[in-house]
Amino acid sequence: MPRPPSSSFLPRLVLLASLGVVVLGCAAKAESMVRTRAASDFSCPAEEIETTELTSSINIFEYTATGCERTNQYQAKCGRYFVLCDVSSFSEIDQRNAQNDAYMRRTAGCKSNSECVDKHGSGYECHDYVCTKD
């Protein structure tokens, strides 16, 4: 005779189903925010913006938005509990990354392998602005 599911199985199932609903809800919210952002960037009615999902994870969603003869790619990053989402274009993300990279080069411990060798001796290399033993 089959054993009935344990009493802890049902709460886990409900929790898992709830998490799925939250993630789907966030994806819809993220897509809506991308559509609104693209409409603003393109000076185009939101109804004319089409979105295509590129990738998604728990709280990061990437889309291509097309409308009024323009196309751009966006990333929607949602915070805890998916209450707030921040939408950035890929070019904005690239620009921020370049600024962060330049800052790290100016302020971090090393900028080149020769600096690491000078400070620590042979066998050290500069990786992501940190001297590491190779």
Mean pLDDT of successive 10-residue segments in the chain (134 residues)?
56 47 64 95 96 89 96 89 81 90 70 82 83 81
Among 78, 102, 100, 75, which Cα is nearest to 90's? 75
Residues 50-59 as b/e (b if ≥16 CB within 10 A, e otherwise) read: ebeeeebeeb
Q: What was the pLDDT predicted at 38?
A: 97
- Distance separating alpha carbons of residues 63 and 89, to the nearest angstrom: 9
Non-local CB neighbours of 84 within 8 Å, separated by 6+ positions = 78
